[in-house]
């Protein structure tokens, strides 16, 4: 099936390469302290890194769907990693970035349109939905590698904080998007195993699942439990609450430059 996709359909988009370049340059600026505003450099690094992870998340869905039998994926441009090719740019990029700015929550939106009727087998459908959150998990593990490997010697404090915050976004995205809520990937994993009657009853609510989850997170009790669980996962990856907190504080550069007590002079 994959052979029906042309080389042009697989070519990495200049848009994605530009995002990666912004991520690399801003990471360098954070590491070296080159920027006059460390907070602004952290903001650029985290936002560009977050969008890159969104692109990889959706690419994982598309690539898995291609191998599952949907050869229309290539013609739609999903294999180019170009976020401008997504079905809903606002839901896929704009809204997730707003979530990060407002509450430090990583929550991908729906993006690639998969022609499910081309795919045979419930396991294939489940795997397509699971591929996105699994990508976020892999990204989180990679970002936190210096922490759980004990390889932080010589790493500037601000860069460490920024890395911790970006990793936390990946963890929140993986957990929230794995919830069995209509419209999220977690529901997509179990949907093929539900009866036709149940799927038809749930279908009208799918467009509101993302907003509903975000709304529930504004309930203080739920918010506390959720972030306590996130902190527990981050500690398991070697990242402290202190590091993620100051990463978010530097990210919010418009509130003024933070001054952690442990920041190296």
Active site residues: 58
Q: Name residue, tokens 């977690």.
A: 186
Q: How far is CA 194 from the centre of its chain?
A: 27
Cβ pair 177, 133 in contact under 8 A? yes
CB atoms closer than 10 angstroms to residue 152: 15
Q: How far is CA 124 from the centre of its chain?
A: 22
CB atoms closer than 10 angstroms to residue 236: 11
How distant, in Å, are the alpha carbons of 25, 29, 99, 130, 231 from that of 37? 14, 10, 23, 38, 28
Distance CA(139)–CA(201), nearest Å, equals 35
Listed residue (61, 78, 60) closest to 5, CA to CA: 78
Structure tokens at 129: 């939905």
């Amino acid at each position: 099936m994959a052979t029906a996709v042309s080389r042009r359909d697989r070519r990495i988009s200049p848009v994605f390469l530009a995002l990666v370049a912004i991520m690399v340059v801003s990471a360098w600026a954070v590491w070296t302290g080159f920027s006059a505003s460390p907070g602004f450099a952290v903001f650029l690094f985290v936002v560009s890194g977050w969008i890159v992870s969104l692109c990889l998340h959706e690419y994982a869905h598309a690539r898995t769907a291609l191998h599952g039998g949907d050869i229309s994926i290539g013609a739609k441009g999903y294999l180019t990693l170009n976020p401008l090719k997504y079905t809903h740019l606002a839901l896929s990029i704009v809204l997730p970035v707003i979530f990060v700015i407002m509450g430090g929550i990583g929550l991908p939106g729906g993006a690639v349109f998969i022609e499910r009727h081309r795919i045979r087998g419930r396991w294939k459908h489940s795997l397509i939905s699971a591929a996105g959150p699994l990508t976020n998990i892999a990204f989180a593990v990679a970002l936190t590698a210096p922490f759980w490997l004990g390889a932080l010697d010589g790493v500037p404090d601000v860069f460490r904080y920024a890395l911790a915050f970006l990793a936390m976004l990946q963890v929140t995205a993986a957990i929230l998007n794995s919830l069995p809520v209509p419209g999220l990937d977690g529901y997509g994993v179990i949907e093929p195993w539900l009866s036709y009657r149940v799927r038809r009853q749930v279908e009208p609510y799918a467009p509101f699942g993302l907003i509903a989850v975000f709304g529930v997170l504004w309930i203080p009790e739920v918010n506390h439990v959720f972030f306590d669980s996130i902190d527990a996962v981050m500690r398991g990856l070697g990242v402290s609450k202190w590091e993620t907190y100051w990463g978010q504080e530097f990210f919010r550069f418009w509130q003024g430059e933070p001054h952690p007590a442990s920041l190296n002079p």
